[in-house]
Amino acid sequence: MPRLRPAALLVLCLVPLLAAGAREPHRVAGDACDGYPRLAIGTMRGMCAGLVLGPTTQDPTRPLRLPRSLLQLDADTWLVTDLGAWEGARGAVWRIRTGVGTKARLDRVLDGLHLPHAIARGPDGAIYVGEMSRILRFDPGAVEPAATVQTVIDGLPDNRLHAHRHPLSKFVFLPGGDLLVNVGAPSDQCAGPALRTDEGRCAQSEGDEDAASLRLYRYAGGGRWSSDHEVFARGLRNSVALAVHASGTVLQGENSYDFATRWSPFEELNIVEAGHHYGWPYCFDRDRATPAWPERAGWCRAATHTAPALLLPPHAAPLDMLWYEGAMFPALQGRLLMSWHGHRSVGGRIASFAVDDRGVPTVDAHPRFPVHGQGMRAYGAGPAATPVELTPGWGLERGVRPQGSPVGLAVADDGAIWATDDRAGLVIRFARDD
């Protein structure tokens, strides 16, 4: 058996702790959070976390297995996607009916789906869902919603989990209605001779596979898109965090490489522009070559590689982001909100950034990032920005809560911030705490 390095031993020792932390149930406090049961999550001043549904120490029932993305239909009605499981067609879309002082009612509107993640309202008003290998639309108000399902985009890679690292489909609508759809990288660094082209490039990202890219499907009007696509941008390892600002700026939150070291590599925030290459699998951080591609060091420093607009904390795992435009939290107005799903000490929180007119976070001279149990840590690199945390108290606390695993974010009509936690099986409403 090969001798393990200390870092590898540390990772192995942490695995059971992390698994135990994921099973730690949430405790509900005695008082309410704006009419909802109060969860023991430490939040920014003037905010509290209310339980919409999910298991707690008082009631371990878990109706949602792996809740991911949220969409509000009206004041009291939401849709939430649920992966169900990481294997098989066990995903679903659920309808949640809830209100202040009432117990949430849950109805399954679609089932038998493969890893449904993204959900959004399209330019035609219909509801769109990203499944593993397609994008579909349906009418949740129909007597039989399943009978209204139509495939809109087909032929996305059938990325089975154990054959592919990034199987989830994320999409956004551009201002003119075009669809931007992610295709995740099939491997961590595209390492090994079999994955290299004759020209010495990664066959997964530069060849016919078009992985680690964003595809563009042109809008033809009337709820129709071209069946053909063009590669809009390359070198993006996993674009689950993808958002379009009112100015038209497209931002992508990169889940970077799986280095074993705790403080490397940094995640990235990229301004996505047509025709640009963002570095996967050759580069990490701003301009450094990955261990699998040392010969690309010069290319990583050249203008042909588009460096990240911002470095994000290492292993934070950004999974969703949006710009807050609600009325409930004036201090957050216009700021970029981001969910950090990572299981290490940086993840498990919702962060916010001040932005410029394009919606891009403004860079700090001496940026720092939060670490559970350690306060703030200096980046030691840039460009980066110091976030304001919405959830500074979401680390593991035995008997109180697991470390947070936020995924989807949404702003309700009343300005409350809704979020899912897939590992805990929760839907959470962050509201003003009077």
Question: Given a cut of 90, is residue 427 above it in pLDDT?
Answer: yes
At the topology level, CATH places domain 24-432 in Neuraminidase (2.120.10)
Q: How does pLDDT run across 232-247, given as a tens digit for each residue?
A: 999 999 999 999 999 9
Average pLDDT over residues 344-366: 96
What is the spatial distance between Cα 307 and Cα 239, in angstroms, rounded to a whole number? 16
CA end-to-end span of the chain: 59
Determine the pLDDT at residue 100. 80
Taken in order 8, 9, 14, 16, the sign of the CA dihedral is positive
Where do the domains of the chain lie?
A: 24-432
- The pLDDT value recorded for residue 411 is 98
Pair of tokens at residue 390:
């919405």
Helical ranges in 24-87 per DSSP H: none
Q: How confident is the model at residue 23 (pLDDT cuts 50, 70, 90)?
A: low
* pLDDT exceeds 90 at position 63: yes
Q: What is the mean pLDDT of residues 307-318?
A: 98
Q: What percent of the chain has pLDDT over 90?
A: 83
Considering 27-31, 303-307, 342-346, the range whose residues carry the highest mean pLDDT is: 303-307
Give the tens place of pLDDT for each residue, 104-150.
999 999 999 999 999 999 999 999 999 988 999 999 999 999 999 99
Quote the pTM value. Answer: 0.93
Q: What is the mean pLDDT of residues 217-241?
A: 95
| pLDDT above 70: percentage of residues in the chain | 93
DSSP symbols for 161-230: GGG-S-----EEE-TTS-EEEEE--SSSS--SGGGB-TTSSBHHHHSTT--SEEEEE-EEETTEE-SS-E
Q: How confident is the model at residue 18 (pLDDT cuts 50, 70, 90)?
A: very low
pLDDT score for 429: 98
Distance of CA 434 to the CA centre of its chain: 30
What does the alpha-carbon distance between residue 79 and residue 141 come to, in Å, rounded to a whole number? 11
What's 330's DSSP letter? G
Q: What is the pLDDT of residues 180-218, one digit of tens each?
A: 999 999 999 999 999 999 899 999 998 777 899 999 999
Q: Among residues 280, 263, 116, which one has the least CA distance to residue 187?
A: 280
- pLDDT band for 22, please (50, 70, 90 cuts): very low
From residue 43, give the alpha-carbon distance in Å to each of 23, 165, 372, 405, 431: 22, 33, 14, 15, 10
Lowest mean pLDDT among 48-52, 97-101, 179-183: 97-101
Give the closest residue to 189 by CA, choosing from 100, 296, 94, 58: 296
Q: What is the pLDDT of residue 102?
A: 82
Q: Please write down the HEC assignment for all residues of 390-424.
A: CCCECCCECCCECCCCEEEEEECCCCCEEEEECCC
Contact 429, 50 (CB under 8 A): yes
* pLDDT at position 9: 34
